[in-house]
Amino acid sequence: MKLILLGAPGAGKGTVAKLLTAIDGSVQISTGDILRGAVQAGTELGREAEGYMKRGDLVPDSLIMGIMEKRLQEPDCAKGFLLDGFPRTIPQAEDLKKLLVKLGITLDCVVSIDVPKDIILDRLCTRRTCENSACQAIYNVKSNPPKQAGLCDKCGSKVVQREDETEEAISHRLATYNEKTAPLIGFYKKEGMLLSVEAVSSDAVIAAVKKELHL
Ligand code: ADP
C-alpha cells in the first residue's frame, strides 16, 4: 500500500503505520524519526533541524523535500510505504504531488486520523520515547509503560520524554498543526483521495484502511 497518514501530533500515526507495515511489508517513513536520527548523529541536516524541532516549529519545507526525494527512491519503497508526518504543509503537499508524478508513483489514499483534543493532550504529556535513534519505540507511562521502568523493552536503551514534549512545546506543536497541517484535509478531499477515520483506537483505524483497500 502507498498511503499518507494525516493527523495531529499524538493522533497515533506512528502506531497505525507500524501495524500497517506488518500487513504487507510496506515501509514506514517518518520524517520525525529521520530528523531525530540526524540530530542524534550530529549530521549537517540534524544541526539545521534541531532548533526548529526543540521549539515545536516545523523544519523548512526545502529540507524536508530534499529528504523525501531521496527516501522515496530507495529500493524498499517499491513494496509500498506509509508516510507518517509528511506532508505537513500545503507547499509540501504540492511538491509531493509533482515528485510522485516524476517518480511514476500513485498513492492509494490519504488517511486522516481524527482524535478528540483532550485525548491528544493527555497522550502527548504521558508519551515516552526510546532515545536510541535506530529504535525510537513509543511507550506511555499510563497505558503502556516499559516492563522495566525507564528502559526500552526492545533494545534496553533509556526511555525518555522528548524535548519537544514539554507542555509549552506541545501546545505550540498543536497550534502549528491547526494552522499549517489541518488545511491538508481540504486539499486531499478536493483531490478525491481522503479517507477520514474518527477513531480513538488504532485497531479501528486499521480496520477502516483494510476495508477501503479491500485487504
Ligand atoms: P509528531 O507528529 O508527534 O508531532 P514528529 O515526530 O512527526 O512528531 O515530528 C517532530 C518534529 O519534527 C516536528 O515538530 C517538526 O519540527 C519536525 N518535522 C517532522 N516532519 C516534518 C515535516 N514534514 N515538515 C516540517 N517539519 C517536520
pLDDT tens per residue across span 154-187: 999 999 999 899 888 899 999 999 999 999 999 9
pTM of the complete model: 0.91
Residues 53 and 164 sit within 8 Å (Cβ to Cβ): yes
Note the pLDDT tens digit of each residue in 80-97: 999 999 999 999 999 999
| 7 Cα nearest atom in ligand 1 | 2
pLDDT band at 199 (very low <50, low <70, confident <90, very high): confident
Note the pLDDT tens digit of each residue in 45-79: 999 999 999 988 999 999 999 999 999 999 999 99
CA-nearest residue for atom 19, ligand 1, is 32
Greater confidence (199 vs 185) lies with: 185
Span from the CA of 98 to the centroid of ligand 1 (angstroms): 21
Beta strand residue intervals within the chain, DSSP E: 2-6, 27-30, 81-84, 109-114, 127-130, 138-140, 159-160, 194-198
- For the cut 90, the answer to whether the pLDDT of residue 213 exceeds it is yes
Span from the CA of 58 to the centroid of ligand 1 (angstroms): 6
Among residues 1, 10, 4, 2, the alpha carbon closest in space to that of 177 is found at 10
